[in-house]
Structure 1
């Protein structure tokens, strides 16, 4: 089967082309494609584990099976940052799979993953859903600053943060944080620090949709209509 791969930003510059068509055996996965890409384009090998991949315009994990005619994109983190700090805001589903590959290293004895999940209650009232709104450029910049501050406090390897915006249902993850270090104590402490600082300083707002009344923006004394 044949799969089209699209390249962006640094990936595009490394291979000196916008897209390529690769032949793969039937039943191949995204992980198989990553291997084929590294063999076909050695210059892109160091990007393989540092970017996100989409298949037919949806983010996909390494074990996703590919079909003939699929379009795969190599997508660098939209917020930029260094190898040790990544942060982005997205309307897509977020999970452990988004941040874990970005923080794991061969030197990491501890990898801590935190998922903030929408619960069905708040302040003693039933909650049906949450809506998150953000000022994305500033939110991403501030999250990167928080990640770098964590690096300054503890001997960490990498930090990655993905925050979802839009309408979320009960059980959906609103944020995924990954932290790696040589030892668990530093990783746990840094992960908690990053979450606390994001809630305090990052321009992301949460609207609670009550089961028994009008929706309410958290932190706003006046209830929203």
Structure 2
């Protein structure tokens, strides 16, 4: 099916057009739409993690299934808005992520920090390298955010993943969630990191003194 996606403000300027036409498979979701827009306009990739998907003038989750008759739009954050799902090659700051989810109504903020360890399967690891599929990776991170927000009734979710070279002890991912209740917050973080490993297109390369391997590609 063919659809048209409307773009506004910074998205429109970066794309050089107020609309983008896409060919989608039946059953495609707004997550697929965001990923395809990122492929069509690579310069939009870093911004799309903050996109708010709209279908027929209503905000929807990125898991929303679209049809050929729908009016689609991707909205940038309003003034003062900030992406809560992003990739970076900079050193991660857990407090920066936590500040995005803190709220007076929440009695618990739980943060998971994944760090680079110095060994794996009996080998001494020198460092790790991470590579991602930009645009799609952020969209899938946001999809997980929507999922755990609903599943665990959270008030806030934020997530950032490191790319490039990571030294031993560096944080490679930070996930923060806010909830009125601590049990839900702990469960949500545990669930979220497993979902990241399942569906987010980010790859890890372990580097040793005498070789290297992409994890999952042992052959």
Q: Normalised by the shorter chain, which TM-score bucket?
A: 0.5 to 0.7
Residues 85 and 189 of structure 1: CA distance in aligned 2, closer, same or farther (over 3 Å): farther
* Runs of at least 5 residues in structure 2 that lack an aligned partner in the other structure: 1-8, 12-45, 53-80
Give the alignment's TM-score, normalised by structure 1.
0.62
In the alignment, the residues of structure 2 paired with residue 182 and residue 85 of structure 1 have an alpha-carbon distance, to the nearest angstrom, of 22
Give the alignment's TM-score, normalised by structure 2.
0.63
1:97 deviates by 2.2
Q: Which residue of 1 aligns with 2:185?
A: 187
Q: Which residue of 1 aligns with 2:89?
A: 91
Residue 50 of structure 2 aligns to a residue whose secondary structure is coil
Q: Which residue of 2 aligns with 1:137?
A: 135
Aligned residues of 1:85 and 1:158 also touching (Cα < 8 A): no
1:85 deviates by 8.0
Q: Is it true that 1:80 corresponds to 2:50 in the alignment?
A: yes
Aligned residues of 1:132 and 1:207 also touching (Cα < 8 A): yes
Size of the alignment, in residue pairs?
149
In the alignment, the residues of structure 2 paired with residue 98 and residue 114 of structure 1 have an alpha-carbon distance, to the nearest angstrom, of 13
Q: Which residue of 1 aligns with 2:211?
A: 214
In the alignment, the residues of structure 2 paired with residue 98 and residue 123 of structure 1 have an alpha-carbon distance, to the nearest angstrom, of 33
Aligned residues of 1:85 and 1:148 also touching (Cα < 8 A): no
* Runs of at least 5 residues in structure 1 that lack an aligned partner in the other structure: 1-7, 11-75
Q: Which residue of 2 aligns with 1:164?
A: 162
Residue 84 of structure 2 aligns to a residue whose secondary structure is strand
Larger Rg: 1
Q: Which residue of 2 aligns with 1:33?
A: none
1:221 deviates by 2.1
